[in-house]
Amino acid sequence: MKQKALWTDNSIQEIMGNLLILGVVISASIAIVGGSIFLFRHGGEQPSYHIFHGAPAQLRSLSGVIEQTRTFHGRGIIQLGLMVLIMTPIARVIFSVFAFLKEKDYLYVTVNLIVLGFLLFSLFGGIAIR
């Protein structure tokens, strides 16, 4: 009996599609849980729309989000869901690098590494314009 090849173009596209779907579903589920917790705890509060309040300082770092999630704070869990959503296309690019390496298609490996570099640069650094 002939064995089906794992790394065909169609199987790689299917894996990448499933990776994106899974990332979106997981991130939405996390955000819904966080939103439910937030509404349960703060749903009856009176909002003040005349003053803009940005995200608290503890929600602006990965360690702060993890701490807020660990202690079941709704905003921290929502933020974690957003971080998972941001990481989903990055995971797809990383998977693409390995898939193209397996196929020995070095042009696309290079292109994907450049894209990954731009994604990571914009996520972690960027250029501050003042």
Residue 30 CA, distance from chain mean position: 11
46 secondary structure, DSSP code:
P
When comparing pLDDT for 78 and 48, which is higher?
Answer: 78
**Encoded tokens for 63:** 């360690």
Q: How many angstroms separate the CA atoms of 57 and 11, rounded?
A: 43
Q: What is the pLDDT of residue 49?
A: 81
pLDDT band per the 50, 70, 90 thresholds, residue 114 = very high
Does the predicted model carry a pTM greater than 0.85?
no
**What are the domain boundaries of the chain?**
10-40+59-124
Residue for token digits 């390995």?
98
pLDDT band per the 50, 70, 90 thresholds, residue 123 = confident
